[in-house]
């Protein structure tokens, strides 16, 4: 496994890590989660991503129970959580980063995990209705109290990250260290353009999500939406709406490129994310052990992503990228 | 229920909230308090105002017992307390904001409430005999220790609030976020004039008290002081002295305006406070459930307060306002 | 009882307070200490001065046990301690203000007292061998942790106090608030001249000790050293050396002035200290209840200290003062 | 015993102190460690040096058990630990000063020691892969939480120490106070040249290690490497490689100088380190009580190190020093 610093931070994360979104609490139980964590851990994965809102808190409970069952050395792995969406409907309990919400959120999360601290804590989204200074103080207080080791953001604009960092710097508070953006072959601009100055200026680390663009890049939707697949499920209409049919179709072009390199389209898509040196870790999901193994093998593909290969990928996806950039 | 940010803070309070002044500990017991809290909560009220000095500490005890009985989710409501008047006669225990008093006061308050923290803590009055820096440090320490989430002031001058904020800003301490002023149709100048710059400059929120001017604005004293009413009680002479008879009489003019809108004078007076966008929440008192319901219905009246209605109110109360401004 | 602010601080101390130097742990036991504390408290004394080094720690133990026995309301009185001399002989345990010493000292003191916090904590002497920044950090940490409410100094030079204050101010740490100097008719210059700028600039409060100059000003040594008196005791040679015989003799001149005012020389000496508005409290010692009562009656004398009386005192002591100023 | 301030700090360390490197956990057991500590303590040694990595954590366990057995007054001695090398192989657990590692390291160390705090905590080496600000925050947090009293560095460059100090100074964090460098007759340049400005500018204290250059300066390798000596052991090839044979041979020249002063070459080498006023304490190792006694007697030699003696030493070792300076 390759390990990378979390931006400029001294802590290192495995280039591929394991997320629990749409996984724990809904599809798999504790034993299965433990088996998955163990398999990933044994192959060198040291970061397990989570969030308060995943499966309404159950994802944290199951990961915590699985970690306890495995008895892994606490200093050998990192666990994250994220706050913003909330677990309740109250005016101060959802879609917010106000101090009241955040202070009870970290306590609730640690209780569900059964941990004394999380390694990484993220503001899951920006909150335009809470002053940045209030957010920075609350996140600083989580680190100062030892409940978290590093704090960061997820899906924040460069300006928002910059503002939070500057407030922390000016007031001698703990600074945000990492951002968790969506990043894949079809969503590149934020990571590659918008954040460009932040890597050098503030040492921003990235823990990217959705390397397969919700599975699109595996190519399984290239010829239509198979029954039982995620895009066919009720409740996922929003996901389907994000990808016009032409985009789905165009993903078929990745297949021959991947096959030439002895890999699958999914592995190619994951490896392409890892190739970016500004990415600290690519968070992948897996509901089956075979899927995990396939994902992790993407690391072997990274050195094969030569300039000609990258050019071929860009050419194949150019129309889809153009569509996505014009698509809300 | 409408929810409003507490000034610039990310936390939101219901536009109408429930105070316990002269209520808990003296007139109603725990069951009645619980019934009132429940009824308010069920209608969306999320802020319950209190203070150390209300009923000599009993108001906090009864509210705490009622909250415990109801078993409401702690993250779904806000509780406040306020310190200044003190519970004892000693030279450091009353009419002060010295560090010794404040540090023991918050511990005593949390113990009476049976809570781990209060959401809002107020300096109940300014203390010219304690340096502002000592006050700001003590209030900051309450927030830093997790015993309170936000701190503010009550009945402070704009200059005093500004000074506290500036000290906190310069020293990287937690800043005051809200002020609890008297505000009603007869006392307008502080909220509407004196604090004007603070709303934009420091994001001051307001939790206003006395929307009915101690009941005057209900009109019940317009034709004299009824036996058994608050102004007739021994111990309330000071209150009676504050309202010259001409003022009491003039409140009768509100009645026809309210009736035209299908409301009572009390509802009109409350709605008028809510109409001010700088007001985060209007704290109302109620000793009976019917009174609570009547108060909360004032919210429906707010959209009906058009400019002509507001002008009619101002015209009706102009003489009374002039008297009040010249009256100590 | 008159109460005065501790310099600019919001906390108030009785103009006369009770010290335990050479008293507790050596001459009186817990019951007697409790009786004395109770008598003083009942007459309005709210500050009980102590130090780690008094009677090798026993003075704190006895005062703590007496306070516990009396069951006084914690918020109604102030207790102090002081650190520098230490209880042990080690190179880091005596005559020092290093962080290691101070951090264990406060814990040891609180344990002996049986208190959760002391109100005032003093650096008992300056320590030229510890950097001022190390001292300020340690004292700040005592306040930040809640183990003490205010910190100050004892027998520091104006420059040293100023330096400590400036470091705290620049680094946003808790500032020193009070100084405990010797102050009496024979030792005036530090309080009246050296500290002059500090009263206004930093709001320095004074808790003065030795109002009777080790008993000299009572006049009991004016005609020689009585057997059994402090100056006659072995181990007090240093004290005797501080007062040349001419000084002892000159104290007889206070007696007629005091008698004219219906008071004793001791009361005159104490009242003279209280007269100084920069003095927050005059710490007096008493081993018998009658002595306590006599001391406290000195307060009645203060208004009688008119300018002619003060001039008469100065004239009577002028030769003694000149001797003391030239005497090491 | 002579005691010296730890640089500008107020805390004092014995000029000679006792280290546990290669000693505890491997060669001696708890009883022997206790006997050694007691003998050193009885002769005035007040600083016992340790590190997380010594004997894989066992050195801390044995020292803690020995201290507990002896029941020494906690305020009378200082214990240190150091973090960098780590106890486990993970990417965040060795050769690092990242926050995650450091925060669990101090907790682990205190648990092994059975102590509430260590007096001195060192960054055992610089970590170019963790930003200095992250290191300074973590070390500051150890002091702020009371888990350590002073923090410093070991084998850092002057620039690195300066950078850490400046960050702490600018951000009002606790500053590094001491460095633990190798220092002996054969390794002088860092202490005597590189750090020169730091002594005055930031008050850097030194706790030097290896006064005998891994035993070389005792002269026991002057005529070859005896069987059973450290340089003959498997696993110490790296040590042997550091000292060319000509250097080993040249150490014989110290013997006559030492003998003239009635001392051994080892005592001469130790005394020479103590002679440097910038050295706060010279850490010596001892596996036998006789060796400890011999080392401590080196203190008597210090006054005899006149300029002619120092010149003679320099002349005798000049060739060896030249070799060492050119030797990696």
Provide the pLDDT confidence category of residue C26 given band limits of 50, 70 and 90.
Answer: low
Three-class secondary structure of residue D114 per DSSP: coil
Q: Which two tokens stand for residue C195?
A: 């500290």
pLDDT in tens, A67-87: 999 999 999 999 999 999 999
Facing residue for B172 by CB, picked from A99, A134, A171? A171
| Measured distance CA(D123)–CA(D136) in Å, rounded | 10
Question: Which of D99, D101, D102, D133 best tests the A interface by mutation, with the highest count of A CBs <10 A?
Answer: D99
pLDDT of residue C225: 86
Mean pLDDT for A250-262 is 95
Q: What percentage of chain D reaches a pLDDT higher than 70?
A: 97
Mean pLDDT for C309-323 is 94
Q: Please report residues of B whose CB lies closer than 8 A to that of A173.
A: 172
- Among the listed residues B180, B240, B175, the one whose alpha carbon sits nearest the alpha carbon of residue B210: B180
Q: Please report residues of A whose CB lies closer than 8 A to that of B172.
A: 171-173
Structural domain of residue C61, as residue ranges? 3-180
Q: Please report residues of C whose CB lies closer than 8 A to that of B93.
A: 75-76
pLDDT of residue A68: 96
Three-class secondary structure of residue B147 per DSSP: coil
Chain mean position to CA C25: 18
Facing residue for B131 by CB, picked from C8, C73, C174? C8
The sign one gets for the Cα dihedral A171, A174, A175, A179 is negative
Q: Which of B3, B24, B41, B54 is catalytic?
A: B54
Q: CB B100 to CB C11 under 8 A?
A: yes
Mean pLDDT for A231-257 is 88
| Measured distance CA(B223)–CA(C54) in Å, rounded | 71
Q: Which two tokens stand for residue A188?
A: 């590149």
Q: Which two tokens stand for residue C56?
A: 């090798």
Q: Please report residues of D whose CB lies closer than 8 A to that of A144.
A: 141
Spell out which chain C residues touch chain B, with contact meaning CB-CB distance below 8 angstroms. Answer: 3, 5, 8-12, 14, 46, 73-76, 78, 119, 144, 146, 149-150, 172, 174, 203
Q: CB D46 to CB C91 under 8 A?
A: yes
| Measured distance CA(A228)–CA(A27) in Å, rounded | 14
**Residue-averaged pLDDT of chain D:** 94
| Measured distance CA(A35)–CA(C248) in Å, rounded | 90
Cβ contacts from C onto D, under 8 A: 59
Q: Which of A3, A24, A41, A54 is catalytic?
A: A54
Q: Please report residues of A whose CB lies closer than 8 A to that of D171.
A: 172
Q: CB C99 to CB D73 under 8 A?
A: no
**CA separation, residue D214 to residues C134, D60, D226, D230 (Å):** 35, 21, 14, 8
Facing residue for A46 by CB, picked from D91, D104, D131? D91
Mean pLDDT for A188-192 is 97
| Measured distance CA(B182)–CA(B188) in Å, rounded | 8
| Measured distance CA(C95)–CA(C85) in Å, rounded | 5
B: neighbours with 3+ CB pairs under 8 Å?
A: A, C
Q: Is position C131 within any domain?
A: yes
Q: Please report residues of A whose CB lies closer than 8 A to that of D131.
A: 8-10, 203
- Among the listed residues B127, B67, B79, the one whose alpha carbon sits nearest the alpha carbon of residue B102: B127
| Measured distance CA(B322)–CA(B306) in Å, rounded | 23
Q: Is position D226 within any domain?
A: no
The sign one gets for the Cα dihedral D142, D143, D145, D148 is positive
Answer yes or no: B54 catalytic. yes
The sign one gets for the Cα dihedral B130, B136, B139, B145 is negative
Transcribe D289-323 into DSSP letters: HHHHHHHHTHHHHGGG--HHHHHHHHHHHHHHHHH
| Measured distance CA(B18)–CA(B285) in Å, rounded | 6
Termini Cα distance of chain A: 37
pLDDT of residue D149: 98
Q: Is position A320 within any domain?
A: no
pLDDT of residue B225: 87
Q: Residue by residue, what is the 3-state secondary structure of chain C?
A: CCEEECCCCCCEEECEEEECCCCECCCECHHHHHHHHHHHHHCCCCEEECCCCHHHHHHHHHHHHHHHHHCCCHHHCEEEEEECCCCCCCCCCCCCCCHHHHHHHHHHHHHHHCCCCEEEEEECCCCCCCCHHHHHHHHHHHHHCCCEEEEEECCCCHHHHHHHHHHHHHCCCCCEEEECCECECCECHHHHHHCHHHHHHHCCEEEEECCCCCCHHHCCCCCCCCCCCHHHCCCCHHHHHHCCHHHHHHHHHHHHHHHHCCCCHHHHHHHHHHHCCCEEEEEECCCCHHHHHHHHHHHHHHHHCCHHHHHHHHHHHHHHHHHHHHCC
Q: Which two tokens stand for residue B120?
A: 């809002």
User: What Rg do the C-alpha atoms of chain D give, in angstroms?
Assistant: 19
Three-class secondary structure of residue B89 per DSSP: coil
Least confident interval from A269-278, C105-114, D17-26: D17-26
Q: Which two tokens stand for residue C276?
A: 């100084």
| Measured distance CA(B264)–CA(B275) in Å, rounded | 16
CATH number, domain with residue B40 = 3.20.20.100
Question: Which of A6, A10, A203 best tests the D interface by mutation, with the highest count of D CBs <10 A?
Answer: A10
Q: Which two tokens stand for residue A196?
A: 């460009």
Q: CB B9 to CB A93 under 8 A?
A: no
pLDDT in tens, D171-196: 999 999 999 999 999 999 999 999 99
Q: CB D11 to CB C172 under 8 A?
A: no
- Among the listed residues B240, B282, B285, B291, the one whose alpha carbon sits nearest the alpha carbon of residue B264: B291
Residue-level pLDDT, tens digit, chain B, 328 residues:
999 999 999 999 999 999 986 566 666 688 889 999 999 999 999 999 999 999 899 999 999 999 999 999 999 999 999 999 999 999 999 999 999 999 999 999 999 999 999 999 999 999 999 999 999 999 999 999 999 999 999 999 999 999 999 999 999 999 999 999 999 999 999 999 999 999 999 999 999 999 999 999 999 898 888 888 888 888 888 888 888 888 999 999 999 999 999 999 999 999 999 999 999 999 999 889 999 999 999 999 999 999 999 999 999 999 999 999 887 6
Asked whether the predicted pLDDT for residue D229 surpasses 90, the reply is no
Q: Is position A116 within any domain?
A: yes
Asked whether the predicted pLDDT for residue A24 surpasses 70, the reply is no
pLDDT of residue B27: 60
| Measured distance CA(D327)–CA(D324) in Å, rounded | 5
Mean pLDDT for C173-197 is 97
Q: CB B127 to CB C10 under 8 A?
A: yes
Facing residue for D10 by CB, picked from C90, C96, C171? C96
Q: Is position A220 within any domain?
A: no
pLDDT of residue A315: 95
Asked whether the predicted pLDDT for residue A209 surpasses 80, the reply is yes
Asked whether the predicted pLDDT for residue C20 surpasses 90, the reply is no
Phi, psi torsion values for C281, nearest 5 degrees? -155, 145
Burial classification of residue C161, based on how many CB atoms lie within 10 Å of its CB (0-12 exposed, 13-18 middle, 19 or more buried): buried
| Measured distance CA(A113)–CA(A256) in Å, rounded | 43
Q: CB C172 to CB D174 under 8 A?
A: no
Q: Is position A162 within any domain?
A: yes
pLDDT of residue B24: 62
Q: Which of D54, D84, D101, D183 is catalytic?
A: D54
Place of tokens 């924040």: A156
DSSP designation for D28: B
Q: CB B10 to CB A129 under 8 A?
A: yes
How far is it between the farthest Cα atoms of chain D? Answer: 54
Question: Which of B96, B97, B99, B125 best tests the C interface by mutation, with the highest count of C CBs <10 A?
Answer: B99
Facing residue for C103 by CB, picked from D9, D76, D149? D149
Nearest residue of chain A to residue B148 (CA atoms): A100
Q: How many CB atoms lie within 10 A of CB D197?
A: 11
Asked whether the predicted pLDDT for residue A237 surpasses 80, the reply is yes
Burial classification of residue A323, based on how many CB atoms lie within 10 Å of its CB (0-12 exposed, 13-18 middle, 19 or more buried): middle
Q: Specify whether the CB–CB gap between D51 and D19 falls below 8 A.
A: no
pLDDT in tens, D89-126: 999 999 999 999 999 999 999 999 999 999 999 999 99
Name residue A282's beta-bridge partners.
Answer: A16, A208
Name residue C79's beta-bridge partners.
Answer: C48
Q: How, if at all, do strands A47-49 and A148-153 pair?
A: unpaired
Q: CB D98 to CB A73 under 8 A?
A: no
Facing residue for B11 by CB, picked from A99, A135, A171? A99
d(CA A125, nearest CA chain B) in Å: 14
Q: Is position D113 within any domain?
A: yes
Q: Which two tokens stand for residue A170?
A: 């000016």
Beta-carbon contacts of D78 under 8 Å, excluding residues fewer than 6 positions away, are C92, C100, D11, D13, D46, D47, D48, D119, D120
Q: CB D78 to CB C100 under 8 A?
A: yes
Q: CB A10 to CB D99 under 8 A?
A: yes
Beta-carbon contacts of D307 under 8 Å, excluding residues fewer than 6 positions away, are none
**Residue-averaged pLDDT of chain C:** 94
| Measured distance CA(C155)–CA(C206) in Å, rounded | 11
Chain mean position to CA D282: 7
**Residue-averaged pLDDT of chain A:** 94
Q: Please report residues of D whose CB lies closer than 8 A to that of A174.
A: 137
Helix (H) / strand (E) containing D13: strand D12-14
Q: Which two tokens stand for residue B186?
A: 């007869």
Q: Please report residues of B whose CB lies closer than 8 A to that of A97.
A: 10
Beta-carbon contacts of D16 under 8 Å, excluding residues fewer than 6 positions away, are D1, D45, D270, D274, D281, D282, D284, D295, D296, D298, D299
Name residue A12's beta-bridge partners.
Answer: A5
Q: Is position A173 within any domain?
A: yes
Q: CB C12 to CB B92 under 8 A?
A: yes
pLDDT of residue A264: 97
pLDDT of residue A150: 98
pLDDT of residue A175: 98
| Structural domains in chain A (count) | 1
d(CA A313, nearest CA chain D) in Å: 33
Provide the pLDDT confidence category of residue A287 given band limits of 50, 70 and 90.
Answer: confident
| Measured distance CA(D257)–CA(B120) in Å, rounded | 76
pLDDT of residue A21: 64
Three-class secondary structure of residue A49 per DSSP: strand
pLDDT of residue C28: 63
CA–CA–CA angle A112, A116, A122 (5° rounding): 70
| Measured distance CA(A299)–CA(A279) in Å, rounded | 13
């Amino acid at each position: 496994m390759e390990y990378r610093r979390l931006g400029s931070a001294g802590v290192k994360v495995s280039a591929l890590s394991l997320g629990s979104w749409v996984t724990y609490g809904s599809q798999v139980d504790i034993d299965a989660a433990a088996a998955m964590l163990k398999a990933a851990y044994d192959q060198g994965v040291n970061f397990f991503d989570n969030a308060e809102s995943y499966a309404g808190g159950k994802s944290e409970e199951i990961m915590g129970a699985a970690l306890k069952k495995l008895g892994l050395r606490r200093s050998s792995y990192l666990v994250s959580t994220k706050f913003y969406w909330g677990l309740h409907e109250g005016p101060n309990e959802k879609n917010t980063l106000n101090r009241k919400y955040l202070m009870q959120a970290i306590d609730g999360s640690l209780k569900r995990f059964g941990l004394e601290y999380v390694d990484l804590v993220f503001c899951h989204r920006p909150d335009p209705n809470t002053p940045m200074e209030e957010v920075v103080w609350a996140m600083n207080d989580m680190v100062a109290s030892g409940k978290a080791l590093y704090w960061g953001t997820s899906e924040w604009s460069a300006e928002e990250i910059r503002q939070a960092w500057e407030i922390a710097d000016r007031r001698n508070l703990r600074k945000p260290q990492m951002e968790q953006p969506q990043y894949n072959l079809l969503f590149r601009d934020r990571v590659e353009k918008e954040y460009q100055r932040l890597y050098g200026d503030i040492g921003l680390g990235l823990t990217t999500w959705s390397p397969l663009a919700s599975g699109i890049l595996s190519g399984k939707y290239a010829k239509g939406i198979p029954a039982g697949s995620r895009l066919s499920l009720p409740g996922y209409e929003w996901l389907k709406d994000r990808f016009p049919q032409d985009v789905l179709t165009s993903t078929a072009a990745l297949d021959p490129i991947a096959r030439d390199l002895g890999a699958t389209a999914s592995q190619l898509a994951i490896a392409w994310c890892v190739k970016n040196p500004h990415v600290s870790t690519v968070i992948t999901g897996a509901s089956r052990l075979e899927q995990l193994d396939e994902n992790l093998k993407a690391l072997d593909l990274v050195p094969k992503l030569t300039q000609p290969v990258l050019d071929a990928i860009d050419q194949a996806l150019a129309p889809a990228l153009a569509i996505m950039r014009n698509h809300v």
